[in-house]
A and B are shown apart, each in its own frame.
Chain A
Amino acid sequence: MSEVIYQLRGYADMIVGSEETSWEDAEEYSSLFNHLAANYPARGVELHVEDVSQEIINNYKPINNGNHTISSLWVGRTISTLIPAINNLAQELINLVNEGHGNEIKDIITVTQHMNVPIRNGEFFNHSYRDLYSFSKLLINRFGSNSKVGEAARDVMNAIEQVVEQEKHNNGDYHGISIFLPDDRRWYYNSTWGTSATYRATDFAQYTEWDNFLKALFPSQG
């Protein structure tokens, strides 16, 4: 997620992750390290960061045949390229909300590709984790590529293409990075999980414009 990557800025070069429990059992660890060893050092081939992430992704087998996605992203590039684009997009979205387009945005969020795996007792809270590229694409479809939000969305899509090193998925419109994007205020102000307070405690919520957009979309008095 954008939020996790932002939280670890400066501490890692690349992050690899899936949106589901990655592997069904420990068997894949056996194949991963076998491939890492046999394909690189055993052959005298230098093992780069991208090679490790590629092997992880190659060996990725999700629990079931449902939607799944896994990707590797450059952290530094995310911070320098994607985050400014997200900030700009958030500002344009705030402008749209202020212009009365809030419900249209919520409609778009509803059909934006979301992540599937339930967490905590089967609740699909994680449906609020949605593919950022998918969302940007739908914004362009709705508001036009020449609109301010369309241009901002295009910048986000371009940035995603730069920061995502590798991506793999089966079904769905996944492009490598998700973002917290609830379609209903009940997920933003979730009493069970204390969503708002927990989310706002993250660096991403505090230091980017995204949470300002969510607050504009789901005002507390609403």
Chain B
Amino acid sequence: MLRGVIITGIIMLLVLSSMGGMASGVEEKKMHGFFKGNVFNNLRIMVEINEDYATIKNAKDGETLVEKAYPVIEIKEGKEWREIEFEEKFIEVQNHGGWHTVAIGFAHTGKIAVRGFLEYYQRKKVGEGAPLYPLLLLYFNKSVEHRVVWRYEGIATNWFEVIDNGTGETRAPFKEGHARRVIYNGTIQGKMEFEDGQDIVVAWKNGVKEFGSNWEREKLRYKTLKFDVEDRVNMEIVEDESNGKMLKSEESRVVDAYGLMAWDSGGGGSDPDSDGDGLSDSTEEAGWYIWVCTSGTTWHHIKVYSDPHYKDTDNDGVDDKAEYDHGTDPEDSDTDDDGLNDSEEIYTYGTYAYTWDSDENGISDNDEFHNWLFMLYMDADNSLYKYMSDVVDKVFQGLSGLTSDGERINRVMHIVIEYDGKEWGDSGRYEIRFNTATWQWEKVKVDSWGDLAMCEPRTLSDFVNWAASKYWQPNRRALIIMDHGGGWDGLLWDDSVSGDNYTDMNELKRAFGDMKTHINLVWFDACLCR
């Protein structure tokens, strides 16, 4: 098995393969798809995905911003970096789980084997204009010092590279088996200005550094050197300061056209946290990465943002700082699309809000918590006795054969029965449940009485309140009322009660009014009640 080393390279717009420097040799352009969207500084771009590279254009006017963008993987051999050539390469275009994905797979075999994917994806449901998410995954067969060089060609006559050293860092919240949140943490050797950052781009003007940007691990924010977008500057790659040469600086260009980085536009001025949510403005504007699983077992690494002026950007009851801590999307009230909103998962159910199936049992969190309580109120204390005296057994028999799925069923369905027949002492309260020790369904009598006045509103509401109290978790509840019925004339005749021995409409309303839970479905297994 290959030992996985995951690198997430979220570099500006990037994209594309051409692993092994194939881009330069491509004559014929073959496009496999394109994305439109905003990049970090909200520049609207279109990224054309070609077989070996991406072309990045301004979506408004079609101006080519970057003719060719592609990453190159290099491994350390002695003191030198050697570029890996990939023998295999393929492209997949998929639409699944609400994501539009173009994935370029590549592989190199040999003493050092490498395989990987460069995925570029966009969340369809957000629609055009959504952030574009590039993701690079690398898997080596052994631990090897490597780096990713992102090459951008055809920026006017300039080109530049961005170098990451391939180190990855996992940071909280990390729960085993789940939040595999990886923040790319490349470093640039020798440049003291950038501390412990990544994705260094520096612009020079007349030989003087004009701006630069990196990511500071400790502060979790982009550090930005301000510049005037109208200035014409040269783009340069920063290399090892020991030989810190300018790779190219032949022409000038309007920097804004690159639209590559997340600028700290201020937002809070002297106050770094305008909305007081515990996240700095620059962090909220620059965004951060989370891992999300919305279906199956495929995880997506996406960048998320929040509004520096609102504590709870998506108004889902989880403020932006908590979203940050819990690894959820502050702009999506249901990060994992499982039907439970982030607030419910984090504060009510304790499930992971970034994956649809927290315990990885194949049942969505929504299913596990949007399950059912079936409450059967069976009044057979009348002429129906001869038909319904065995109703508890019949319900039990319906489930008794379902043993292999018993545990799963019992997580979704909880069944309680209140029964009263004609005989003294046959009244009882039952649960039909699955016993995980015996791996059998069982019928358990949890309470009994000599007789129950089933026509009394209080008897009905007490039963429902007991059941809803015991099974508090389900938020879907069905109440099944079985007896004679007469429509608005009443129902629930109880022959053991003398005098007023049925429930009229106002008594029925009172019973429901006394229930301390909402009923999603009422089934009147009684005449004339619909």
Contact = CB atoms under 8 A, between A and B. Distances in A.
A3 B524 CA distance: 14
Interface stretch (A96-104, A114-122, A134-142, A145-153): A114-122
B367 A16 contact: no
Contacts of A198: 488-490, 504
A26 B388 contact: yes
A41 B409 CA distance: 5
A180 interface: yes
Contacts of A41: 363, 367, 371, 405, 408-409, 411-413
A57 to B, nearest CB: 10
B409 A73 contact: no
Contacts of A32: 398
A207 B413 CA distance: 38
Contact of A178 (B371, B372, B389, B530): B530
A177 to B, nearest CB: 7
Contacts of B225: none
Nearest to A8: B512
A56 interface: yes
Interface residues of A, number: 65
A5 to B, nearest CB: 8
Nearest to B523: A16
Interface string A180-222: 1000000000000101001101111000000000000000000
Interface stretch (B85-93, B129-137, B234-242, B514-522): B514-522
Interface in B489-524: 489-490, 504-506, 508-509, 512-513, 515, 518-524
A204 B366 CA distance: 37
B398 A30 contact: yes
B257 interface: no
B530 A30 contact: no
B394 A29 contact: yes
Contacts of A40: 412
Interface string B469-504: 000000010110000111111100000000000001
Interface string B362-399: 11101100111010100000001001111101110111
Interface string A25-46: 1111111111011101110101
Nearest to B397: A30
Contact of B525 (A1, A23, A31, A119): A23
Interface stretch (A47-55, A87-95, A105-113, A154-162): A47-55
A49 B504 contact: no
Residue among B372, B374, B515, B523 facing the most chain A CB atoms (10 A cut-off): B523
B529 interface: yes
Interface in B34-52: none
A108 B530 CA distance: 22
A1 B528 contact: yes
A17 interface: yes
A5 B264 CA distance: 58
B486 A29 contact: no
A38 B530 contact: no
A155 to B, nearest CB: 21
B525 A22 contact: yes
B154 interface: no
Contacts of B505: 3-4, 7, 201-203
Contacts of B190: none
Given A31-B398, A41-B411, A12 B524 contact: no
A17 B526 contact: yes
A85 interface: no
Nearest to B488: A3
Given A180-B487, A201-B506, A47 B524 contact: no
Given A4-B487, A7-B488, A47-B476, 20 more contacts: A7-B505, A12-B521, A15-B522, A15-B529, A16-B524, A17-B529, A19-B530, A22-B526, A24-B387, A26-B393, A29-B376, A29-B395, A30-B397, A37-B413, A38-B405, A41-B371, A44-B408, A73-B530, A119-B484, A180-B487
26 contacts: A1-B528, A3-B487, A4-B524, A7-B506, A7-B508, A15-B521, A15-B522, A17-B485, A17-B523, A17-B524, A26-B390, A30-B398, A32-B398, A41-B411, A42-B405, A44-B363, A47-B412, A52-B372, A56-B523, A115-B528, A119-B486, A120-B486, A129-B528, A198-B490, A202-B506, A203-B505
Interface of A: 1, 3-5, 7-8, 11-34, 36-38, 40-42, 44, 46-47, 49, 52-53, 56, 70-71, 73, 115, 117, 119-120, 125-126, 129, 176-178, 180, 193, 195, 198-199, 201-204
Instruction: State the 5 A-B residue pairs at the shortest beta-carbon distance, nearest first.
Output: A17-B530, A41-B412, A3-B488, A33-B398, A34-B398
